[in-house]
Structure 1
Amino acid sequence: MNWEDFRHWGRRAADWAADYHAGLRSQPVRAQVAPGAVLSALPDTPPEGAEAMQAIFDDFEQTIMPGMTHWQHPRFFAYFPANAAPVSVLAEYFVSAIAAQCMLWQTSPAATELETRVCDWMRQAIGLPDGFTGVIQDSASSATLCAVLTMRERALDWQGNKAGLSGQPRLRVYCSAEVHTSVDRAIWIAGLGEENLVRIPTHGPTRAMDTNALRNAIVADRAAGHLPAGIIACTGGTSAGASDDIAAVMDVAEAEGLSTHVDAAWAGSAMICPEFRALWAGVERADSVVMNPHKWLGAQFDCTTHFLRNPDDLVRTLAIQPEYLKTHGADGIVNYSEWSVPLGRRFRALKLWFLIRAHGLEGLRELIRNHVTWAQDLAKRLEQTDGFEIVTQPMLSLFTFRHLATADLDAHNQDLLNRINDDGRIYLTQTRIDGALVIRFQAGAFTATAEDVAMAYEVITELAGAG
């Protein structure tokens, strides 16, 4: 394909995308294919010669698309959303066409300086105070890894990267069982070891970390000769929206001299609405905070904003400056590759800039508020319906429920969930609360309407009755 061919196929791609989104409600949300079906339809060996673009496109439609789960479907109520507002898709189109590697200021000054600006826009939007500085990471997993590596280095007086962990006391990091598994992976990759991720019990309706137990665990670890390094708190945990008492966690961290990271990957988007900020009161005292515009706000994946109270600590942890990466003759610049694990960086700031300008903060607030209201209404309807139990009350737009039966409740609800997802009109997932299997609902699709959420009630109750 040359650029003249691209002109034709680019128009066709735009038409296809618009038609695809216009027809999503008529499609089953989850892919309805058997394992291996797509693989068996693909040739075993690569082509030796060039193939016609029309043939490639035909195979894309006939072989690939039937095996795709439609994450942009308005009735995608599973996991958390991975929204892609049309204006964000358009921005990514431009990013792909420019194809810049934005690792350093000099490799694309506009990319670096736009990132600085839109991160500060997001800081203001979610209510973090002056003094926090932002960077765009690929995902919350990477931001959490950066936070854990910085905790490690600070605890070891910046000697971990140089001398390694051999001969050092055990470094300990504290969190509840409600945090995302990205925390576990960060602990593995940072070399701390799973046994040194200390799980603190939770309590209360918000399933918050017990800060008395947290304090006792730190004291016990010091007495055992271990080296406490940091605390990871969460606002809006993945399973059921668990939210720690951030202010109380910060009290413990400050008293013990520990670094802190707040994972608000999903719920952080809701903080553009001032009325929800009580959920993370005290966050301004954290060292590191992460939230994902690529979840609820509509910035196409991947786009994570990572806010730091003292970015110098992160740069000290990660920066490597060989001669070939130095920028001479330019003072006061930022090289964001020194703020993240990968050297290479995509131009992620452009889609966030397009998104905020095209929708405005008020438009995005309306989206969040609608989803929260609709989810709360659905929870109330299910709670008032015979045979249903709300297991965890709505945290923003997320709640869990189960259908009661005389049979094995776990097996019954797994069967109900399977029938719901095989039906195709909506898509839900499961989790476990205090060991019991429950069904999880969250409203967050960019194009969802009140009618789409109402359909969820109809599908759930219809298929529960059919069971």
Structure 2
Amino acid sequence: MTDQPLPHMTPEQFRRHGHAVIDWIADYWAGIEKHPVLSQVKPGEVAARLPEHPPERGERDDGFATGLLADVDEIVLPGITHWQHPSFFAYFPAPTTGPSVLGDLLSSGLGVQGMLWATSPACTEVETRMMDWMVELLGLPDTYRSDSAGGGVIQDSASSAALVALVAALHRVSGGDVRTNGGAGRFTVYASTETHSSVEKAVAIAGVGTDQLRIVEVDDSLGMRPDRLAATIAADRAAGLTPALVVATIGTTSTTAVDPVRAIGEICRAEGIWLHIDAAYAGAAALCPELRHTHDGVELADSYCTDGHKWLLTNFDCDIFFTSDRSSLVAALSVLPEYLRNAASDSHAVIDYRDWHGPLGRRFRALKLWSVIRWYGAEGLRAHVRQGVGLAAHFADLVRADDRFEIVADHVFSLVCFRLRGADGRNEELLRRLNASGQLYLTHTRVRGAYTLRMAIGAVPTELRHVEAAWQAIQRVADEL
């Protein structure tokens, strides 16, 4: 043993270096438009700029932050695709806002391990209250409130939410038999051709098997066909299989199509099948009364999720998950070794969120959601959603005014799917040149087999001028093809 102090960063050192890091982030946000949206590096280029071996001695001096941030500028920034750039129109938004970052910083500083109520009561109770706030903000059914038979929890992503919903559904439909005796392969799961790939991964992880995943046809609006769902369920029952879960989507990843939730929910209620709603992107639309029609029938769902880190101004990770049947969820996921036993848990008077998802450990993620809601309020959150919807409508009008282009799917939210009329190859080249320019970043999908560009609006700093500049760039490249 040595009596030499360990080289930890002192609170005063943290204060000094922390100020430098906060200043760097603020400067990055202020000057983000000077960067190409899509990273221009080649594979291996970032790694090649890093030392091959770790340092033996640490850089424990006043220049630590200066040196670190210089390397971030030189090594990291060239390899960053700037998701916060106002001309980032790819995938879906991934907002990072000041209030969210500050809430996340508080969480990191507290260093809470919130697996049990007893390990930090505030971690649990703030999260529970935030989930109840979200029920109110989104106009969701009271069966998702914590004072009902259901409740809410923050998952890391909608992919985890789908897996958790599936595990709970299997537990309920089997009476616990899947957990004790296996045999998940005799159950079936249903999704549409437009459902997110996370459902396929969930059935593989849960042991159901991808051969037991039924892909249901969609209608002209790209929503799941209830008649085909009912027929597929009937065929599986006739074959001796047990339907366990249906996944309906509000705002599909490809085109933001909306499944007919009410019709699907009525089938699930009649058949005793767990209905999970994936509203990862479009759930935030329910903040606005004029968009709540997209959530018609949501009260029929056994579980529901939306990502705070897509359209709700909260940085990753923050999936907001609800269930109306917490007993099945907890029974499916609870494992209680002796070292986790405590008086509060034994009293059954508290929530232990470790029983609501796969991992045991959990961060104090509710702090960043609380921070965001406090800063923006309901009206601010609604204004952000409405701005995205309005900008998307404006972009769609621009596309329609150019006969060379066509819009290929409905755009209820803030995504517009469009393409050049004609061959796929021209659209592929259009996208390649646009993204290579560094001026903007789009991604693509296929709609009814046709190669299609996606214009996803929702980055925090995006304004009308950015959308119009993007359209001008699209037209300019189209002129060259």
Report TM bin, short chain. Answer: over 0.9
Kindly indicate whether residue 189 of structure 2 is the aligned counterpart of residue 181 of structure 1.
no
Corresponding residue of 1:394: 411
Kindly indicate whether residue 259 of structure 2 is the aligned counterpart of residue 244 of structure 1.
yes
TM-superposition CA deviations, 1:266-296 (whole Å, max 9, x none): 0001111111111120001100000011111
Corresponding residue of 1:134: 152
Kindly indicate whether residue 293 of structure 2 is the aligned counterpart of residue 285 of structure 1.
no
TM-superposition CA deviations, 1:363-396 (whole Å, max 9, x none): 1101101110110111111111131111113131
**2:118–2:344: 8 Å Cα contact kept in structure 1?**
no
Tell me, what secondary structure is at the counterpart of 2:39? coil
Tell me, what secondary structure is at the counterpart of 2:322? strand
Q: Specify whether residues 15 and 329 from structure 1 end up closer, same or farther in structure 2 by C-alpha distance, changes over 3 A only.
A: closer
TM-score by length of 1: 0.96
Residue ranges of structure 1 left out of the alignment (5+ in a row): none
Match of 1:146 among 164, 169, 173: 164
Tell me, what secondary structure is at the counterpart of 1:379? helix
Give the percent of matched residue pairs that are identical in Structure 1 and Structure 2. 44
- Could you tell me which amino acid in structure 2 is paired with residue 383 of structure 1? R
Kindly indicate whether residue 374 of structure 2 is the aligned counterpart of residue 368 of structure 1.
no
TM-superposition CA deviations, 1:94-153 (whole Å, max 9, x none): 111111111111111111000000000001111112121211111111111000111111
Instruction: Spell out the pairing of 1:252-401 with structure 2 (5 A cutoff).
Output: 252-329=267-344, 331=347, 332-401=349-418
Query: After alignment, is 190-199 or 323-332 more displaced?
Result: 323-332
| Alpha-carbon distance, 1:45 to partner | 1.9
**1:169–1:226: 8 Å Cα contact kept in structure 2?**
no
Kindly indicate whether residue 50 of structure 2 is the aligned counterpart of residue 42 of structure 1.
yes
- Could you tell me which amino acid in structure 2 is paired with residue 99 of structure 1? G
Distance across 2 between alignment mates of 1:437 and 1:204: 17
Match of 1:195 among 211, 215, 234: 211
**1:29–1:425: 8 Å Cα contact kept in structure 2?**
yes
Kindly indicate whether residue 104 of structure 2 is the aligned counterpart of residue 92 of structure 1.
yes
Tell me, what secondary structure is at the counterpart of 1:394? coil
Corresponding residue of 1:75: 87
Tell me, what secondary structure is at the counterpart of 1:43? coil
Distance across 1 between alignment mates of 2:313 and 2:22: 18
- Could you tell me which amino acid in structure 1 is paired with residue 168 of structure 2? T
- Could you tell me which amino acid in structure 2 is paired with residue 342 of structure 1? P
Distance across 2 between alignment mates of 1:272 and 1:242: 18
Distance across 1 between alignment mates of 2:480 and 2:121: 60
Instruction: Say how many residue pairs are matched.
Output: 461
Corresponding residue of 1:3: 11
Match of 2:180 among 150, 153, 162: 162
Distance across 2 between alignment mates of 1:271 and 1:157: 34
Residue ranges of structure 2 left out of the alignment (5+ in a row): 1-8, 145-150
Query: After alignment, is 191-200 or 126-135 more displaced?
Result: 126-135
**2:156–2:319: 8 Å Cα contact kept in structure 1?**
yes
Instruction: Spell out the pairing of 1:197-236 with structure 2 (5 A cutoff).
Output: 197-205=213-221, 207-236=222-251
TM-superposition CA deviations, 1:18-57 (whole Å, max 9, x none): 1100001221111111121111112222222213623333
Query: After alignment, is 231-240 or 39-48 more displaced?
Result: 39-48
Corresponding residue of 2:39: 31
**1:398–1:443: 8 Å Cα contact kept in structure 2?**
yes
| Alpha-carbon distance, 1:231 to partner | 0.6
Query: After alignment, is 298-307 or 317-326 more displaced?
Result: 317-326
Match of 2:29 among 21, 34, 43: 21
**2:169–2:328: 8 Å Cα contact kept in structure 1?**
no
The structure 1 segments of at least 4 consecutive aligned residues displaced by more than 4 Å after TM superposition are none
Distance across 2 between alignment mates of 1:257 and 1:105: 33
Distance across 2 between alignment mates of 1:454 and 1:121: 36
Tell me, what secondary structure is at the counterpart of 2:280? coil
Distance across 1 between alignment mates of 2:50 and 2:365: 32
Query: After alignment, is 321-330 or 241-250 more displaced?
Result: 321-330
**1:232–1:263: 8 Å Cα contact kept in structure 2?**
yes
Q: Specify whether residues 357 and 169 from structure 1 end up closer, same or farther in structure 2 by C-alpha distance, changes over 3 A only.
A: closer
Distance across 1 between alignment mates of 2:130 and 2:328: 22
| Alpha-carbon distance, 1:329 to partner | 4.9
- Could you tell me which amino acid in structure 2 is paired with residue 382 of structure 1? V
TM-superposition CA deviations, 1:415-438 (whole Å, max 9, x none): 110111111111100101111111
Query: After alignment, is 333-342 or 4-13 more displaced?
Result: 4-13
Distance across 1 between alignment mates of 2:176 and 2:401: 57
Q: Specify whether residues 160 and 3 from structure 1 end up closer, same or farther in structure 2 by C-alpha distance, changes over 3 A only.
A: same
**2:219–2:225: 8 Å Cα contact kept in structure 1?**
yes
- Could you tell me which amino acid in structure 2 is paired with residue 192 of structure 1? V
**1:247–1:281: 8 Å Cα contact kept in structure 2?**
yes
TM-score by length of 2: 0.94
Query: After alignment, is 18-27 or 321-330 more displaced?
Result: 321-330
* Aligned alpha-carbon RMSD (Å): 1.3
TM-superposition CA deviations, 1:329-356 (whole Å, max 9, x none): 5741111111111000000000100100
Distance across 1 between alignment mates of 2:76 and 2:179: 44
Tell me, what secondary structure is at the counterpart of 1:202? coil
**1:169–1:225: 8 Å Cα contact kept in structure 2?**
no
Distance across 2 between alignment mates of 1:75 and 1:368: 17
Distance across 1 between alignment mates of 2:185 and 2:256: 34
Distance across 2 between alignment mates of 1:306 and 1:110: 19
**2:279–2:306: 8 Å Cα contact kept in structure 1?**
yes
**2:185–2:207: 8 Å Cα contact kept in structure 1?**
no
- Could you tell me which amino acid in structure 1 is paired with residue 328 of structure 2? D
**2:266–2:300: 8 Å Cα contact kept in structure 1?**
no
